[in-house]
Chain A
């Protein structure tokens, strides 16, 4: 099994350092989300992995091959951030061309387009497609063959909510078959549940690289326990838990990762006074905010 490894990769554009000593690995079957502000260097990183541009220094190993070499290209699928196609070709013709370029049978073009929900539009020219439909053509071409690594630059931008779910389901299947997946996104909530590892870039530097729970721990952001008290018992609950805030029915308890368990014990001990409770860990939004700010200043 081969993986993607970047170590100490630096790239500058005249006086701007787009990537600064970046380390990154994507294991087979791993889904890695690449997050970062606009201009953080996500697309640049991906283009280096694909061999479209070269790094100034550092090492890039794509499944054991040079980035951009014939062997690497045969195994890597890419979705550019603004997927564009020739407007005069139909979706079907475009996909047939991509299949031929990969040496795959062209009769897969129809089924591939069906899979991304473009079955009905397959015979229409891409020039007449909506943005989301073009994005789906891009997704369809990334599914050709059996790529060992998928590099997807904002794959869900422009997709409706249902297609997003389908898309992540497809990714799960590919990862299950052993493909490594690197995807960038600005939609944090959807990435949260659907990836194994999160890498945050800030001004070209990797400021976080861990699983979601690892990042939660590292950020030490507070967890909220929201308690729904029995009618009339809210005051007593708040008092016995020494909680700061309540609105008459709900009591909001803020706790650090270390005190979380003991606090939960206290909540459980109140027994009949409470109706229900929810534990709300810091969201990826909070964590992202924390890491990209901490280093940006």
Chain B
């Protein structure tokens, strides 16, 4: 265990030196600030408190940004070690491959948590500043924070799997962007097209609700929007899926980090140093 913590602290230090920590925190804060600025336009008709509105728009942001940022952090994890030639020596130390991944995971997840708390925190402070009733939105905000960390954990695992599968940092970067496009953008578009074509048939009623929670990003969005009152901010797919129980989505976002890690470990085990 001390070995894994040692790996985690080295990894954190490396991310600090490479300015990854600063870049990721700055990105989250910047986007949150922009969202807050946009969100502070008069929206009185909504009838919700300011923080709930902020949570709804942060949810929309997080679905794109959290997977992107985590994939950027994780794509180099295995491929970078292979490229630098540091992997053979590391693997002769008494630490398992799962331990190596876990060390990196702990470091990356704490960086992400730091960025989420700072970024969302800035937006929340903005909400409290303009609305005294923002306290009512606090549970939704807390839920958004921890589910964002879970979403990030899921994509860290996916990123490590991509990294181990590609073996070269360049290829891993390309693949990571591809995965992001497919899971975050094309998946929803595909579903939308299918639902429209199906026109209320069997697909829409029985397959579609499952497909929607299988994707961790969609499950995350569903979970946060279903749980918050500000669903009017939702649109498209999420609006159409209002009927899906949020418990199912919760199970999905809770299981994905485990599944992602298992996927990463399976891919890493195939890497010969």
Interface residues of A (CB under 8 A from B): 47, 50-53, 70, 73-74, 76, 78, 80, 82-89, 93-94, 96-98, 100-103, 138, 141
Contacts and interface: CB of A to CB of B under 8 A. Distances in A.
A96 B6 contact: yes
Contacts of A51: 92
B17 interface: yes
B17 A102 contact: no
Given A53-B272, A88-B17, A80 B7 contact: no
A103 B93 contact: no
9 contacts: A52-B273, A53-B272, A70-B94, A80-B85, A82-B85, A84-B86, A88-B13, A94-B10, A101-B3
A84 B85 contact: yes
Contacts of B272: 52-53
B88 interface: yes
A274 B89 CA distance: 57
A93 B13 contact: yes
Nearest to B100: A101
B2 A103 contact: yes
Contact of B94 (A53, A74, A89): A74
Contacts of B96: 70
Interface in B2-40: 2-3, 5-7, 10, 13-14, 17-18
B92 A78 contact: yes
Interface residues of B, number: 23
Interface string B88-108: 110111111000000000000
Given A100-B3, A101-B7, A84 B94 contact: no
A247 B139 CA distance: 100
A102 B94 contact: yes
Given A52-B91, A80-B88, A88 B7 contact: no
A103 B3 contact: yes
Given A52-B92, A76-B92, A100 B6 contact: yes
Given A84-B84, A103-B3, A89 B13 contact: yes
Interface in B233-273: 272-273
Interface string B54-97: 00000000000000000000000000000011101101111110
Given A52-B273, A84-B84, 6 more contacts: A73-B94, A78-B92, A88-B13, A88-B14, A103-B94, A138-B89
A85 B94 contact: no
A141 B273 CA distance: 19
Interface of B: 2-3, 5-7, 10, 13-14, 17-18, 84-86, 88-89, 91-96, 272-273
Nearest to A51: B92
Contact of B84 (A52, A78, A86, A98): A86
A69 to B, nearest CB: 10
A151 B2 CA distance: 25
A89 B14 contact: yes
Contacts of A83: 89
A113 B205 CA distance: 67
Contacts of B84: 84, 86-87
A93 B9 CA distance: 10
Contact of A47 (B2, B13, B88, B95): B88
Nearest to B9: A97
Contacts of B13: 88-89, 93
Given A73-B94, A102-B93, A102-B94, A52 B88 contact: yes
Contacts of A94: 10
Contact of B93 (A53, A93, A98): A98
B5 A100 contact: yes
A88 B2 contact: no
Nearest to A83: B89
A199 B59 CA distance: 65
Nearest to B16: A88
A87 B84 CA distance: 9
A150 to B, nearest CB: 11
A234 B10 CA distance: 71
A126 to B, nearest CB: 10
Nearest to B272: A53
Contacts of B7: 97, 101
A227 B167 CA distance: 63
B86 A85 contact: yes
Contacts of A78: 88-89, 92
B10 A93 contact: yes
Nearest to A125: B17
B20 to A, nearest CB: 11
A101 B86 contact: no
B88 A89 contact: no
Given A52-B272, A85-B86, A97 B10 contact: yes
Given A85-B86, A101-B6, A73 B14 contact: no
B88 A100 contact: no
Nearest to A96: B6
A47 B272 CA distance: 11
Contacts of A89: 10, 13-14
Contacts of B85: 80, 82, 84
A52 B6 CA distance: 22
A86 B13 CA distance: 11
A102 B89 CA distance: 13
